[in-house]
Amino acid sequence: MEKSPATEVSDLPASKRQRPNHPDTAAKYKGPSVDDFAPTSMTRAEFDLLSRNQQKKVMRQEMWDERSAEFKEKQRIKRAESRRRQKRRIAAGEAPAKRKPEEQTRSGYQFVIDMDFDDKMADKEIKSVCSQIVRCYSANRQGPQYSDLHVTKLHTRCRQRFDTAITDHPSWMPTRISLHDTEYMDLFAKEKLVYFTADSPNIVEKLDPKKVYIIGGIVDKNRYPRLTLDKAEQQGIAHAQLPIGQYIQMSSRKVITVNQMFEILVKFIESGNWKSAFMEVIPQRKFKDDKPEVSDSESAQEDSKDE
């Protein structure tokens, strides 16, 4: 009977490969063991009563608590170096200088970021959307004009994320952003509200300073189509989408991040030109075939803005 050829170790799945026995290589695999761990938050007897997974969680948490101060110090040094690099880029003319608050004027436009989707996001998506709020605040401070920006229904995990990871938010300028636990319906008249949603059949051609425009604060990877449109219709408020399709062709559904949406609005307020706002903010990879397509209506709409 013919023997089957020997299976190479590299052909086996990772879970079935044996760890190398060479001491120098094996040392790379060696990590802390719960069997040798000495817990500080409980007695060893209490620790031994836990399941193996619970023991590992306790061990990881205590190890993190011990190293968090060191980690925070490294992050502080990294941020300081980043600020120095940015100053050098500004001095060399490679980046725009930050505007001082007194150099900005109020645009008169009002925007809301609706954070009422906490239960529909995974933890990593909560982290992402909160980071996008930080970028929105930064964008509102950098342009020649700033708008009234409100973040509503900031509660549960998103609020916890702000309180634990974005600890400088209490010092944010209240004229550039306002954080609320309440719903936007409690802050503004219903007839003033317009919900931006990619599923709306209505197209916004220009912004109205008498309106309050709402951006859905969610990272959903297209898992919840019509989510924001359904909410707007249930509340009986107006809804619309940006005229993205009139100026560029995107390779996928016209969904962009929260900060990109706000940055587009900021750029449009500055220039009055949708095309330049889209081109400046939307990443090139989202364009169909990496080439933006301009519709025949572009010149007519730009002429109407100039009148």
pLDDT, tens digit, for every residue of 164-212? Answer: 999 899 999 999 999 999 999 999 999 999 999 999 999 999 999 999 9
What is the model's pLDDT at position 16? 47
What is the model's pLDDT at position 111? 98
Q: How confident is the model at residue 35 (pLDDT cuts 50, 70, 90)?
A: confident
Q: What is the dihedral of CA 169, 175, 176, 182, to 10 degrees?
A: 70
> Is residue 156 a contact partner of residue 163, using CB atoms and an 8 Å limit?
no
Paired tokens of 208: 């109205």
CA-to-CA separations, 11 to 55, 102, 199, 221, 264, in angstroms, rounded: 33, 65, 48, 34, 50
148 is known as an active-site residue = no
Q: With a cut of 60, say whether residue 30 has pLDDT above it.
A: no
Interval 146-172 mean pLDDT = 95
> Is residue 278 a contact partner of residue 272, using CB atoms and an 8 Å limit?
no
What is the model's pLDDT at position 253? 62
What is the model's pLDDT at position 171? 94
What is the model's pLDDT at position 218? 95
Q: How confident is the model at residue 86 (pLDDT cuts 50, 70, 90)?
A: confident
Interval 243-271 mean pLDDT = 88
What is the model's pLDDT at position 206? 95
Q: With a cut of 60, say whether residue 153 has pLDDT above it.
A: yes
> Is residue 114 a contact partner of residue 153, using CB atoms and an 8 Å limit?
yes
Q: How confident is the model at residue 33 (pLDDT cuts 50, 70, 90)?
A: confident
User: Residues 6 or more apart from 44 whose CB is under 8 A from it?
Assistant: 38
Annotated catalytic residue within 11, 116, 181, 220: 220
What is the model's pLDDT at position 72? 83
Model confidence, pTM: 0.68
Q: With a cut of 70, say whether residue 268 has pLDDT above it.
A: yes
Average pLDDT, the chain: 84
Q: How confident is the model at residue 291 (pLDDT cuts 50, 70, 90)?
A: very low
d(CA 64, CA 68): 6
Q: With a cut of 60, say whether residue 126 has pLDDT above it.
A: yes
Among 5-14, 90-99, 106-115, 244-253, the minimum mean pLDDT is found in 5-14
176-206: buried (b, 16+ CB within 10 Å) or exposed (e) per residue? bbebbeeebeeebeeeebbbbbbbbeeebee
What is the model's pLDDT at position 223? 85
Q: With a cut of 90, say whether residue 87 has pLDDT above it.
A: no
What is the model's pLDDT at position 26? 45
Q: With a cut of 50, say whether residue 64 has pLDDT above it.
A: yes
Interval 5-30 mean pLDDT = 49
Q: How confident is the model at residue 66 (pLDDT cuts 50, 70, 90)?
A: confident
